[in-house]
Amino acid sequence: MQIFKKQKDLNLFLESEREKSNFIALVPTMGGLHDGHLSLVAKAKNLAEIVVVSIFVNPTQFARGEDFDDYPNTFENDKFLLESKKIDVLFIPSKEEIYPHGTESDYKVGAIGQILCGAFRPSHFDGVAQVVKRFFEIVKPNYAVFGEKDFQQLLIIKSLVKNLHLDIKIDSMPTQREHDGLAMSTRNQYLSDIDRERAPHFYSVLIATRDLILGGKAISEAREMATNSLSKSFEVEYFDVLNANNLTQIETKTSEIIIISAIRFGGTRLIDNLVFRRKNV
């Protein structure tokens, strides 16, 4: 595994690989790696000859009062995990490498970035799009792999590629879960022992809501029941049932459905979702 801190050094290496007709896959991360990230790495290795993993905690996607300064730094363990997976490149740029001309951006996500998580973190998705766009400019990958736990982010990145006419294939991996159903997340490290015991209730409510809808319960009733159940243990930011293709309201013909939610408890914010299909639509 080669480690690069400078764009110019990374570009020299990648250009030599392109000359060999090798495809390049990018897995952007903020570190704090876990098995969810490693599933993205495994997917990338299946897609391309050269896998680039980046670790960069992006300041533009954090609002004032969020955990930018406290975001988990587990670099030595991250490096060990990536070496064990035999990736080709670890890219660990500075803020100056990513934003040499400052952090102003001319790309706006639009309406999809203002709902759900975007309603509670208004500048978040513009910051995500900004940094992903920069990594695409630097690495010029053939493929990029993201997790489906951040489903709204995944749709926004697909939209970015389409809007900018980029020749990059966006691939994804299903949410990886702990044995009790809790979605793997770097921020799970923030949970106290007591909160960790409570956290799996989040996913169990998603499962129960899906089963109610498939059993014929009206979506509005199922959503209300779920919100009431979660509110007994957590602060519910949002809980919605939407069209999984575009996060719009469900219509009679909608078959691909996503149950998507964010909660807070014990000072920690968790997100999760569940995608499923309705039959006979």
**Angle formed at CA 124 by CA 118 and CA 126, multiple of 5 degrees:** 100
Q: What percent of the chain has pLDDT over 70?
A: 99
* 237 token code pair: 């930011």
* 65 token code pair: 């009062």
Give a yes or no: residue 195 inside a domain. Answer: yes
Please state the domain count of the chain. Answer: 2
Give a yes or no: residue 279 inside a domain. Answer: no
Question: What pLDDT score was predicted for residue 281?
Answer: 60
Based on the fold, state whether residues 126 and 256 are members of the same structural domain: no
Specify the 3-state DSSP secondary structure of 239.
Answer: strand
Contact 171, 28 (CB under 8 A): no
Based on the fold, state whether residues 164 and 260 are members of the same structural domain: no
pLDDT digits (tens, 9 = 90+) for 76-109: 999 999 999 999 999 999 999 999 999 998 899 9
Residue 219 has pLDDT above 80, yes or no: yes
Compute the residue count for the chain: 281
Based on the fold, state whether residues 142 and 228 are members of the same structural domain: no
* CATH code, 197: 3.30.1300.10
Contact 183, 177 (CB under 8 A): yes
Residue 279 has pLDDT above 80, yes or no: no
Q: What percent of the chain has pLDDT over 90?
A: 91
* CATH code, 166: 3.40.50.620
Based on the fold, state whether residues 143 and 14 are members of the same structural domain: yes
Cα distances from 130 to residues 50, 106, 137, 141, in angstroms, run: 24, 9, 11, 16
Question: What pLDDT score was predicted for residue 66?
Answer: 85
- What's the one-letter identity of residue 127? G
Question: What pLDDT score was predicted for residue 253?
Answer: 87
What is the rounded CA–CA span in Å between residue 80 and residue 243?
39
What is the rounded CA–CA span in Å between residue 141 and residue 132?
12
CA 132 to chain centre: 11
Contacting residues for 281 by C-beta, under 8 A, at least 6 apart: 252, 253, 254, 255
pLDDT digits (tens, 9 = 90+) for 149-204: 999 999 999 999 999 999 999 999 999 999 999 999 999 999 999 999 999 999 99
Which segments of 48-192 does DSSP mark as H helices, in order? 75-84, 95-98, 117-120, 124-139, 151-163
What is the rounded CA–CA span in Å between residue 141 and residue 51?
9
pTM here?
A: 0.95
Question: Which DSSP letter does residue 70 get?
Answer: T
Cα distances from 140 to residues 6, 14, 15, 100, 144, in angstroms, run: 15, 9, 10, 18, 10
Residue 280 has pLDDT above 80, yes or no: no
Q: What is the rounded average pLDDT for all residues in the chain?
A: 96
Based on the fold, state whether residues 147 and 228 are members of the same structural domain: no
Residues with active-site annotation: 37
Question: What pLDDT score was predicted for residue 278?
Answer: 82
As a whole number, mean pLDDT of residues 113-119 equals 96
What is the rounded CA–CA span in Å between residue 163 and residue 183?
30
What is the rounded CA–CA span in Å between residue 14 and residue 8?
10
What is the rounded CA–CA span in Å between residue 250 and residue 241?
8
Give a yes or no: residue 277 inside a domain. Answer: no
Give a yes or no: residue 134 inside a domain. Answer: yes
